[in-house]
Amino acid sequence: MPASRAWIYVLSVAALLVPAGGIAYLGAVSYRDDRGAIATQIERQRAVATGIATRIDRAIVEALDAVERAIAVDSTAGTTLGPPLARHWFWIDGGTTAGSGAEGRRGSIDRDDQLRVPRAAPPAMELGGALDRATCRDTSRLEQCVRELSTRQSRLAKLPVARRAEAAGAWADAKRQYTALAAADDTGPEALLGLARVLARSGEAPRVAGVLDELERRFGDHAFDGVPVRIVVATLRAETAGPSELLAAAEHALSGKLTTDPITQVGVVTHLRTRLELASLTAEQRRRVSEVDERIVELRTEARAAAGLADDVPAIATAATAEWSGRPAAREPARTLIYRRVPAGVVGIAVDAPMLEAAAGLEPGDAVTAHARPLVLPSGSSPAPGLRKLAEVPLGTALPHLQVALVNPLRDPDPLDEVIRARSRRHVMYTSALALALALGLLATIRGAVRARELARLKSDFVSTVSHELKTPLTSIRMFAEMLEQGVAKGDSAKMARYHGVIVQESQRLGLLIANLLDYAQIERGTRRYTATRHLVAQLAKHALSTFELLRDPDPASPTPGRNPLSLEVSPSAVDAHVDADRDVVVQALLNLLANAAKYGGPDKPIELLVGADDSMAWISVRDHGPGIPAAEQARIFREFYRAPEAYRSNVEGTGLGLALVKRHIEALDGRVEVESIVGEGATFTVKLPRLANEVIADADAAPVPRGAT
């Protein structure tokens, strides 16, 4: 078996085994790889969510540190601090004595668990205090207790009478009644306040200041329905003055110097601001009013914060430790209160989900997919319907009611689907390539099997044909030899010469057949050697033509009937064209071509030898005028043992080795064989060999050079 054919079988087997093994391997590991890729993507998303939670934790600690620093430097005015999460901060004073810490610097003693920032309502004694309980508990003074209680009830009953007189515009009556009630502690605050109003409305404005001074001096620590007396006095004084005093009073109230809670402060400033709308203001005063309006907005925010914290202060003060923790606000569950205990009490911040999300921000490493963003949600809840949850992690034990979710819009691709799709594309590509290779391997195997079957059939036909081809000349040789031996010619010299000629012709035919068989056997074993020498291509053609004529007609005097006319034409460019070739091999190849032209061209049809050359190649063409060769058969006729269907139908004898040997021999000499044919017009076979250059021809005759085996 030739090495090339062996390699074809090896490659065919490899083309089957390698793709099959590859597909089996991909099938075995694809599931594992897909699960690993998905697990990696899920872990990456979870790592991003954990990183976001860590950044939120860091932002919370930073905000609480900023609050602690603020109260350490006595910054209790509710100013906005640097960290974003410290925008709404609070401080619960746990109670300090004079001379210690920030409170010591103010020299005051605060009660425990007091909300200092944002400011809550200060403690104030409500007006209309209760009767002295000690007097009533003493049985020896019981009569005095009853008498005082009766007197007090009588005074309290006179207050509505005075208010009705004021409402009716009876200024003198109202002034008399308020003056009578002003001396008592229980009715004094409200009587002095009513007296100030009556004096202002009755045209006695100069006396109003004295009445307000007395009210502030006697009852400064008291309150009207939670509004400190000092605030009421300041407001009344501003109302009796002009726009400048109203504006100054509003700015004074906004400065925080009037110790009160933000809710009361907003009410006072808003009241003064309403009075200012009725006054004529200068440009500078209008600018100051605009600043007052801005501060009112801030006060309202602070007031809401203080009101929202009111219900949570006791629980926070009780639960706070040195480690920060958080809880939902009692009044607004969407708000989270985060706090920790410090030496000065409890500091904390009020935040909501958007603030925590903004504090986490987005970093380049968070881009696990397009438009991914963090979302802070209540524990156990899901994002909005238009969002996809990629990963979720709790915000830690300090905030058990919250979790961080990494989400992206549903309209965007799911990262897990993208991972699977990318791997699927890669697997499809690999599998397709392997499947294609497997298909090619199967095709090669099928073609090899078909070729082997065809080759087996051709070899069987070849054995049958060769047996016939060998038997025919041997039969002729034996028959004519026996005729000579038996004296059939009876001394006729012409008959004897013809008998001898037939024996010689059939012997040469048998020798050519055996030579072809031996050449094929040597080529198959790879032992065929070639001896190349320099020759004129025209001389090779002439020698082949003369040899063919001799084989065809051993006796020129009695030519074979129906023989084909032969002609030789040498182009001017080929007259001196030399080739380096094995003379016997080229002549044998041309003899095979001439024999085929005689067999298939038909009797009496001319056979032409055409010799040509160009700068690089020289060629010899054998042209017949037979039926021609179909285009589909032109590539097959050079196969070993192959014979075209027309050859079988025309009963033309042959082994199917001639053209195969021509192709093998000529290609071994670095040449090539070409065929051109038109059905019905004949066929032309051309043997092309490399032409020797002029400088090579000018040298001395070259010694025989052995050529390698095929």
The answer, yes or no, to whether residue 647 has pLDDT greater than 50, is yes
Give the CATH fold of the 125-305 domain: 1.25.40
Average pLDDT over residues 191-217: 80
The answer, yes or no, to whether residue 409 has pLDDT greater than 80, is yes
The answer, yes or no, to whether residue 104 has pLDDT greater than 50, is no
pLDDT category at 103 given cuts 50, 70, 90 is very low
Average pLDDT over residues 617-626: 92
CATH number of 529-707: 3.30.565.10
What's residue 619's pLDDT?
A: 94
Rounded Cα gap, residues 59 and 556, in angstroms: 118
What's residue 1's pLDDT?
A: 47
Beta strands (DSSP E) in 239-324 are none
**Of the candidate ranges 363-372, 469-478, 655-664, the one whose mean pLDDT is the lowest:** 469-478
What the block records as the tokens of 160 is 């509505």
What's residue 265's pLDDT?
A: 63
Mean pLDDT for the chain? 75
What's residue 690's pLDDT?
A: 93
What are the boundaries of each domain within the chain?
3-72+85-120+318-412, 125-305, 529-707
410-434, pLDDT tens digit by residue? 888 877 776 666 656 666 666 676 6
Q: Which of 390, 385, 393, 384 lies closest to 419 in space, CA to CA? A: 390
Average pLDDT over residues 450-468: 66
127/668: higher pLDDT = 668
What's residue 579's pLDDT?
A: 92
Integer angstrom CA distances of residue 638 from 338, 478, 522, 646, 662:
94, 34, 18, 15, 8
What the block records as the tokens of 682 is 């004949």
The answer, yes or no, to whether residue 623 has pLDDT greater than 90, is yes
Average pLDDT over residues 369-391: 88
The answer, yes or no, to whether residue 705 has pLDDT greater than 60, is no
Do the domains 125-305 and 529-707 sit in the same CATH topology, yes or no?
A: no
Contact call for residues 346 and 316 (beta carbons, < 8 A): yes
What's residue 396's pLDDT?
A: 82
This prediction's pTM: 0.45
The answer, yes or no, to whether residue 453 has pLDDT greater than 90, is no
What's residue 410's pLDDT?
A: 86
Most confident of 137-151, 514-528, 660-674: 660-674
Distant-in-sequence, close-in-space partners of 5: CB < 8 Å, separation ≥ 6: none
Q: What percent of the chain has pLDDT over 70?
A: 65
Average pLDDT over residues 367-390: 87
The answer, yes or no, to whether residue 209 has pLDDT greater than 90, is no
What's residue 260's pLDDT?
A: 61
Average pLDDT over residues 395-416: 87
The answer, yes or no, to whether residue 463 has pLDDT greater than 60, is yes
Rounded Cα gap, residues 640 and 435, in angstroms: 33
**Of the candidate ranges 158-162, 238-242, 664-668, 684-688, the one whose mean pLDDT is the lowest:** 238-242
Average pLDDT over residues 479-489: 77
Angle between helices 243-254 and 283-309 (to 10 degrees): 30
The answer, yes or no, to whether residue 650 has pLDDT greater than 80, is no
544-572, pLDDT tens digit by residue? 888 888 777 655 555 566 678 889 999 99
Q: What is the DSSP string of 541-608?
A: HHHHHHHHHHHH-S-TTSPPTTPPPEEEEE-GGGTT-EEEE-HHHHHHHHHHHHHHHHHHH-TT--EE
What's residue 300's pLDDT?
A: 67
1-38, pLDDT tens digit by residue? 455 556 666 666 666 666 666 666 666 656 556 666 77
pLDDT category at 72 given cuts 50, 70, 90 is confident
The dihedral built from the CA positions of residue 135, 136, 138 and 140, taken in this order, carries a sign that is positive
Surface-to-core class of residue 564, CB atoms within 10 Å of its CB (0-12 exposed, 13-18 middle, 19+ buried): buried
What's residue 710's pLDDT?
A: 38
161-189, pLDDT tens digit by residue? 888 888 888 888 888 888 888 888 778 78
236-278, pLDDT tens digit by residue? 766 666 677 666 666 666 666 655 666 666 677 776 667 666 6
Rg of the chain over Cα atoms, rounded to whole angstroms, equals 62
The answer, yes or no, to whether residue 339 has pLDDT greater than 90, is yes
The answer, yes or no, to whether residue 79 has pLDDT greater than 80, is no
Most confident of 362-376, 419-433, 480-494: 362-376
Omega of the bond leading into 118 within 30 degrees of 0 (cis): yes
What's residue 603's pLDDT?
A: 80
Rounded Cα gap, residues 272 and 251, in angstroms: 10
What's residue 96's pLDDT?
A: 46
Q: 346-367 as b/e, with b when 16 or more CB fall inside 10 Å?
A: bbbbbbebebbbebbeeeeebe
